[in-house]
A = this chain, B = another copy of it.
Amino acid sequence: MESKAPWGFEKKLEIFSDAFGFKDLPKDARRELSVSADSRYYKKSAVIFGPEEPCRYFYLVADGLVRVSITSTAGNRLTYLLAVRGEPLNLVGPFTGEARLMAAETLKETTLLLIDREAFTHFAFQHPRLITAIISKLGESLDSANSRILDMQEKNVDQRLGRILFTLYKKFGTTLKFTSTELAELAGTTTESSIRALSKLRQMGVIETGRRNITIVRPEAIEQSEGNAIWI
Contacts of A188 in B (CB 8 A): 149-150, 152-153
Whole-angstrom distance between the alpha carbons of A134 and B146 in the complex? 19
Please, which residues of chain B bring their CB within 8 A of the CB of A134? 135
Q: Which secondary structure dominates chain A's binding surface? A: helix
Are the C-beta atoms of A132 and B95 separated by less than 8 Å?
A: yes
Contact check, A138 vs B73: say whether CB atoms are below 8 A apart. Answer: no
Provide the residues of chain B in CB contact with A150, threshold 8 Å: 70, 72, 76, 78, 188
Whether the pair B143, A101 counts as a contact (CB closer than 8 A) is: yes
Q: A136 contacts the other chain (Cβ, under 8 Å)?
A: yes
Chain A interface size, under 10 / 10 to 19 / 20 to 34 / 35 or more = 35 or more
Bits for A85-105, please: 1 = Cβ < 8 Å to B, else 0. Answer: 000000111011000110000
Q: Chain B's nearest CB lies how many Å from the CB of A192?
A: 14
A148 sits at the interface (CB 8 A): yes
Q: Are B145 and A142 in contact (CB under 8 A)?
A: yes
Cα–Cα distance between A135 and B93 once the two chains are bound (Å): 9
Q: Judge whether A72 and B228 touch: CB under 8 Å.
A: yes
Within 8 A of B (CB), among A136-162: 136, 138-139, 141-143, 145-150, 152-154
- What is the distance, in angstroms, from A229's C-beta to the closest C-beta of chain B? 10
Encode contact with B along A204-232: 1 for CB under 8 Å, 0 otherwise.
Answer: 00000000000000000000001110000
A128 is an interface residue with CB less than 8 A from chain B: yes
Partner of A92, one of B73, B93, B136, B147: B136
List B contacts of A19 (CB < 8 A).
none
> Nearest residue in B to A92 (C-beta to C-beta)?
B139
Question: In the complex, A92→B148 CA distance in Å?
Answer: 19
The reply on A80 being an interface residue by CB < 8 A is yes
Closest beta carbon of chain B to A137's beta carbon, Å: 10
Q: Is A189 an interface residue (CB 8 A)?
A: yes
CA distance A136 to B91 in the complex (A): 10
Instruction: Decide if A74 is an interface residue (CB 8 Å cutoff).
Output: yes
In the A-B complex, the 6 residue pairs with the closest CB atoms: A92-B139, A145-B145, A152-B152, A138-B138, A72-B150, A125-B128
Can you report 12 residue pairs joining A to B where beta carbons are below 8 Å apart? Answer: A72-B228, A78-B146, A78-B149, A92-B135, A135-B135, A138-B138, A141-B142, A145-B148, A148-B149, A149-B149, A149-B188, A152-B152
